[in-house]
Chain A
Amino acid sequence: NAGVTQTPKFQVLKTGQSMTLQCAQDMNHEYMSWYRQDPGMGLRLIHYSVGAGITDQGEVPNGYNVSRSTTEDFPLRLLSAAPSQTSVYFCASRGSHQETQYFGPGTRLLVL
């Protein structure tokens, strides 16, 4: 199993550009989530999904959209990037009967 994979590893955007961060998992996990990690702060939940076709907002959802068309994939979209979205983004997944999350390697995003 590859576990949780994320692409790209690094990305530089200009303010106002849009992009999609990809996340995939091959563990047949129902639950998937997106976090951002900023210096000196813990991981903060952006959006999450409890299954295909179901998504919900987390703690810091503004500026981000998600969709869950399949169990495996959970892309995160930035519609109009802002410098405040410069961060490291982590995708995570877990089974519905588990409480431990498995994290991907992260995407480092710089918005100029």
Chain B
Amino acid sequence: DGGITQSPKYLFRKEGQNVTLSCEQNLNHDAMYWYRQDPGQGLRLIYYSQIVNDFQKGDIAEGYSVSREKKESFPLTVTSAQKNPTAFYLCASSIMGGGVGEQFFGPGTRLTVL
């Protein structure tokens, strides 16, 4: 069953803690992305990676970190430096190059800071 998965579905964090959100895909996509979605707002790009061992900052990278050690995996760490981390986090993947442009999204992780 091909697709993109995220875990956990819900995550609660105490202030001052780092937490890591998981994103895995078996679509053989080269590119992966992390977005943040706040209520009533669009998706804002946090980080993206076009190839293993390489990634770039998006529009709101402060307080977040990522790694891309495997093609299938792109975990996102929300650090204590992120002052307002409560949000819905979406991971996505796509092929590279000039082919189909669709980004496939995971089901999301809802993070709440207690």
A and B form one complex: no
